[in-house]
Structure 1
């Protein structure tokens, strides 16, 4: 069953829809990499702190999937109604959190190793 918003407005240029879809897939690849990192940490490192980091990576991977869908949908709706694409503060926050998280993980692994 198609979403109701797909019937609103007009069909956008397929090139823009495909570009939006590629961006969505890039977000999903990022989420998959985060999930894989969480699984690797869980399977190969026994420290409780690293297990906690693995859980956080897994939760962030799920959040990235949700954010990816919401951004894809918002962009599609904006294109269907000839509105500017929405801007959000998710990217800087997510990037900062991931950078800090990876830096913390490296510090933990160096101290433990």
Structure 2
């Protein structure tokens, strides 16, 4: 007897999709998790290193990177669930608007770093 799979909200509906597609969905999930971890590591580094910029700017950059990393982690889970459920129910694949959040977060961090670097005394 096999144990129930979690989350039942995903595995309890529809039919089992081709394993290749489920594994591709899992790889995408893991890529988003790696992105999230990289953003969180950058936030920790920016926060911990003695950068030659204003402390408030340094804290803001670290905060933007951390929030972007948290958003990427949340999207990883949400995207995996939505895609797996769509495959099981033969629905169209969901869109991915989370990429723009990462782009904006990284770009904002870069602009803050650039401005802080240019304004240092």
- TM-score, length of structure 2 as denominator length: 0.80
The 3-state SS of whatever aligns with 1:11 is coil
Please tell me whether residue 67 in structure 1 is matched to residue 75 in structure 2: yes
Please tell me whether residue 51 in structure 1 is matched to residue 59 in structure 2: yes
Return 5+ residue gaps in structure 2 as ranges.
Answer: none
Cα displacement (A) at 1:93 = 4.1
1:55 and 1:45 map into 2 onto residues whose CA distance is 16
Larger Rg: 2
The 3-state SS of whatever aligns with 2:93 is coil
Please tell me whether residue 99 in structure 1 is matched to residue 97 in structure 2: no
Q: 1:34 aligns with which of 39, 42, 53?
A: 39
2:56 and 2:117 map into 1 onto residues whose CA distance is 12
Report how many aligned residue pairs link the two structures.
113
- TM-score, length of structure 1 as denominator length: 0.85
**Greater mean alpha carbon deviation, residues 88-97 or residues 72-81:** 88-97
Return 5+ residue gaps in structure 1 as ranges.
Answer: none
